[in-house]
Chain A
Amino acid sequence: MMIVVLAMLLGLAGTAMVQSGIYANDQQRYRVGIVGDTDDEMIKLGVQMIQTADDTRYMIELVSYDDEDEAVADLRATKISSYIVITDEFSQALDAMTNDVKLKYYATSGQKGITNIMMDEIASVAGNIIVSSETGICTLRQVMEEEGFSGSQRHEQINKMFVVYLSALLNRSEVAEFVELGLSDGLSTEAYYFVGILLFFILLLSFCAISFFLGQSEATFRFLKSKGVGARMQVLAEYLAFLTINFLCVLIIMVAMILAAHLGLFSIQELGHHQVMGLVNFAISLIPVCMMFAALGFMIFEILIGVINKVLVAFMLYIGMAYVSGYFYPRSFFPEAVQTIGRYIPTGAAFNYATAIFTHQPSGVYMLVCVVYTVVFLGVAMVVRRKKIY
């Protein structure tokens, strides 16, 4: 029954999103920043093409920046997916039809896929310019013919012009140079994957304590109540035991990670020179997240009936929540509406909190969100337990 209700709710939410057009407006448009002068004729043509061509205007949105620092800040804040720097040298080289200066394309490492798209787009722009060059060649031939030049003279001049175009455009084999900044959702690549995967494991750890919910009967709850242990105390006592198991599991994982860091098997840029101490501090900071995830698991297991239901629904829910919160894939890839949901659900709150810890940003608000979620989940569990008793 609970699965059906959950499926209906998710279905309704999805349908509402699609129907409202939010998804269509937002769907997978890569926001690409352009830093520098775009007044150059050739560049203006390329930008215009990207913004108007049917196959790209739904895919790429260009955002202009005067300053590269602004673009980096927006990239860090995941407002854009990548940015291109057009230097004066590049514009001049383009005008001079030389091949010695390249565009610089900066992308986060989580967004390698966009590199291929940009290559295609740039190739497409170059292709269109060649069509224009053919028009130029035809025009040159017609003008020379009208001015009375001989066939061999015309042929020679057209060949020269064609070679110049070819050398300037077709031979420009590497139009852009791609640079990875190693950023994903505000974290370095290592930190991003470390945080995402670690949080997902902590989320899954609630399954380690599922045995608490096997064989529990309502008779037990009633008996406890008759002995003066009400729903609130029952839930708090069980949650404490449930949380202790989760803490132990997290401790085992963190000890393994700290050992690996100590042996130099991996390092995280954000932790600087004190990798081990950084990880120890991070492990301590994870307490609110553990509490929230344990409370979430506790609530789900309290609401659902039957072991298969509990495991299946919890797993499906965890995967979905982790996905939209950016545990496996940078959140910036999702439509704005999904990003917003992913940011505020418990998994998103945990990710924001962990990111703030790693980047030494204020994390108090995110910790408060985790605590509020914990209280809400336990409150719901208490209400459900009370219903089971009566």
Chain B
Amino acid sequence: MVEIKGIEKSYGKKQVLKGVNLEIDAGSMVGILGENGSGKSTLLSILAGLQHPDCGFFNIDGKDLMQNQALRNELVAYVPQENPLIAELTAWDNLRMWYPLDKLKEELSEGFLAMLGIDAFLKVPVNQMSGGMKKRLTIGCAINSDPKILLLDEPTAALDLVCKERIYTYFDQFKAQGGTLILATHEVQEIELCDQCYILKNGVVDSYRYDGDIPHLIGRL
């Protein structure tokens, strides 16, 4: 069980998050919806440990991740919206920054990295990769520590359908192994895949169940 309680964050006088509360079951996928600038990326960056909240808790199975950075690094993986890879290096080199050699070979042959199809472009430098390849490689680098929670900031924005499908297949596998996914997203396809959605508006989250009614969704944002 993942618990997020009373997370607040202000930039100067502007309070972006005014007490975000979420309870997420292990093995589920949660979508955070909201307009641009509503605070979705801020929430994810706080959960990933990039920013300190003004107050609030982030627990997994009763363990406080806000106070234990090492545990958070192990249990939480973060995939940012932009490409964080080192452009001059190949996929292999980027992966080698995070994986021991034995584990990398194993993951590439039968693990999540194989599922993401990274083995097909190991020798390609990042600056020659397509958007989909970069995103898959980023996810591959992020999950080196076998995390329990995967935070993704608009993971499939501007990707083609084949690439999206590959990533969604990976999401299913991740969930099936008890992992929890928290996505900030605008994609209808992803919203449909989520077990639970929340709308972040005016600094607080509201539960939302998507029923295919896009005008209604737009009205809620």
Number of A-B contacts (CB under 8 A): 50
A151 within 8 A of B: no
Which residues of chain A come closer than 8 Å to B86, judged between CB atoms? Answer: 220
For chain B, residues 141 to 178, give those with C-beta under 8 angstroms from any C-beta of chain A. Answer: 141-142, 144
Q: How far is the CB of A71 from chain B (nearest CB, A)?
A: 59
Report the bound CA distance from A226 to B98 in whole Å.
12
For residue A388, give the distance in angstroms from its CB to the closest CB of chain B: 11
The interface residues of chain A, by DSSP majority, are classed as: helix
Q: How far is the CA of A205 from the CA of B77 in the complex (A)?
A: 38
A228 to B69 alpha-carbon distance, docked (Å): 8
CB atoms of B49 and A220 under 8 A apart: no
Q: Note all chain B residues with C-beta closer than 8 A to A227.
A: 73, 98, 142, 144
CA distance A220 to B141 in the complex (A): 12
What residue of chain A has the Cβ atom nearest to residue B87's Cβ? Answer: A215
Q: Could you tell me which residues of chain A, from 332 to 384, have a CB within 8 Å of some CB in chain B? A: none
Known contacts being A223-B78, A227-B73, A228-B73, is A389 close to B83, with CB within 8 Å?
Answer: no
In chain B, what residue has the closest Cβ to A230?
A: B69
| Interface: B45 (CB within 8 A) | yes
A219: CB under 8 A from chain B?
A: yes
Contact (Cβ within 8 A) B87 A390? no
Mark B78-117 against chain A: 1 for CB-CB distance below 8 A, else 0. Answer: 1011111111100000000010000000000000000000
> Residues of A within 8 Å of B, CB-based: how many?
15
Q: Give the distance to chain A from B147, nearest Cβ to Cβ, in Å.
A: 10
9 contacts between A and B (CB under 8 A): A219-B82, A220-B84, A222-B78, A223-B84, A225-B49, A226-B50, A226-B77, A227-B73, A227-B142
Interface residues in chain B, defined as those with a beta carbon under 8 Å from any beta carbon in chain A: 45, 48-51, 69-70, 73, 76-78, 80-88, 98, 127, 138, 141-142, 144
Q: Which residues of A contact B (CB under 8 A)?
A: 211, 215, 217-220, 222-228, 389-390
**New contact pairs (12) apart from A220-B85, A225-B49, A226-B76, CB-CB < 8 Å:** A217-B82, A217-B84, A219-B81, A219-B82, A220-B86, A222-B50, A222-B80, A223-B141, A226-B48, A226-B49, A226-B77, A227-B98
